Amino acid sequence: MEKRHVISTAQFFDRPILEKLFAVARQMEEQVVRHQVEPVLSGRFMASLFYEPSTRTRFSFEAAMQHLGGSVISTEAAGQFSSMIKGETLEDSIRVTAGYVDAIVLRHPETGAAERAAAVSDVPIINAGDGNGEHPTQALLDIYTIQAECGRIDGLKVALVGDILNSRTIHSLLFLLGLCSDIEVLLISPKQLRLPDKYKQYLDEKHMPYQEFDRLDCLDESIDVMYMTRVQKERFKSVEEYEKLKAYFVVGKSVLSQLKAEARILDPLPRVGTILEEVDSDARAAYFRQARNGLYVRMALLREILKQP
C-alpha cells in the first residue's frame, strides 16, 4: 500500500491486504491501550482537508497521525475557510498542499473529487468521503469491526438499512464484502433510496445473493449484521422529500427483539434519531466500538502508506 492513493475499496484491496491491515490494526490497539505507541511517523506530515462536516473521520485520522508521532495540518469547513472561497480549484489546492505534507486526507461533497485530487497529487490522497460515492476507510473499519465482533467475515447474512442510494459507506462496504465468501445481503430502504444499479451489477458479478425490502419486518434471527444508516439530508434537493423520509426507519427495542443474541448492529454514525438510545446498552449495539476502531484502522492505514522504506 506504500505511497498509494486510497480512493475506492474496489481499487486495490484484496483479502491478504485486508488481513495484513487487520493484524496491524490489532497491534495499534494494543499499543494505544498500553500507551506505548511506536512513533514510526515522526517527522511526517498529514493534511486533513475537509470540505464537508465530520466528527469521527477527521478526529480519528488526526489522532491516528499524532499517536504515531506525526504532525497534522488541518482545515475544517474548507469550502468556507480555504482559498476555494477566492475561486481556487480543488486541483490547485491539492497541488499546493502536496508540497507541504506526506499525505492528504480529503472529504468533498462531489463524487469523484478524490480521484481528481489523486490525478494531480504528488503525495497519497486518502478519500475520506466524496459525495455519495465512496468512503473507503470507513468501510475498512466496518469490516474490521465485523471481524472483531462476529469472529469472521465469511458466511454472514448482512442487512444494509436506510439511505442505500446515498450511503457512501455502504457503497464501499459492498466492495469489501465482495472479498468474502458466502455472503447474503438484504437491502432495506425506502423505494426512493434504493441501491444504484452499478452496485447491484457488482453483487451479481460476485454471485452475492441479495433481496430488496422496504420494511424492517424482514429482519429475523438469521441476520448476523444489521448495518444502519441515516437518511442523508445533505444529498436531497427538496427539504420536504427529506422530511418525509428521515424517520422512515427507527431502531428501538422492538427491532432488537427480532434479532438473535449474537447479531450485531453497526452504524457509521451520526445516527440522528435512527437508533434510539434505549438500544445503546444492549451488547448487540456495536456502533460506538465501531467508531473507536476507526482510530486503530486509520493508524494501521497511515503506517502502511507512510512507512519509510
Residues near ligand CP, by CB under 6 A: 54-57, 129, 135, 138, 268-269
For residue 195, which amino acid is it?
L
135 is catalytic: yes
Active-site residue identified among 34, 35, 86, 237 = 86
26 is catalytic: no
Between residues 75 and 138, which has the closer beta carbon with respect to ligand CP? 138
Tell which residue, 262, 261, 270, 276, has the closest CA to residue 290: 270
57 is catalytic: yes
- The string of DSSP letters for 205-268 reads HTT--EEEESSGGG--TT-SEEEE----GGG-S-HHHHHHHTTS--B-HHHHTTS-TT-EEE--
- CA 50, 54, 55, 56: dihedral to nearest 10 degrees? -90
Rg (CA), the chain: 19
Q: H or E element: which one contains 50?
A: strand 45-50
Measured distance CA(57)–CA(63) in Å, rounded = 10
Smallest gap from Cβ 72 to ligand CP, in A, equals: 15
Smallest gap from Cβ 89 to ligand CP, in A, equals: 24
Smallest gap from Cβ 138 to ligand CP, in A, equals: 5
Measured distance CA(195)–CA(198) in Å, rounded = 8
Between residues 79 and 155, which has the closer beta carbon with respect to ligand CP? 79
Active-site residue identified among 5, 44, 107, 171 = 107
Active-site residue identified among 5, 44, 56, 271 = 56
Smallest gap from Cβ 50 to ligand CP, in A, equals: 8
Between residues 158 and 228, which has the closer beta carbon with respect to ligand CP? 228
284 is catalytic: no
Between residues 41 and 170, which has the closer beta carbon with respect to ligand CP? 170
Active-site residue identified among 57, 75, 145, 169 = 57
Pairing of strands 184-188, 157-161: parallel
Asked if omega into 16 is within 30° of 0 (cis), the reply is: no
Smallest gap from Cβ 135 to ligand CP, in A, equals: 6
Pairing of strands 264-266, 225-228: parallel
Between residues 67 and 298, which has the closer beta carbon with respect to ligand CP? 298
Helix (H, G, I), strand (E, B) or coil at 152: coil
Catalytic sites, residue numbers: 56-57, 86, 107, 135
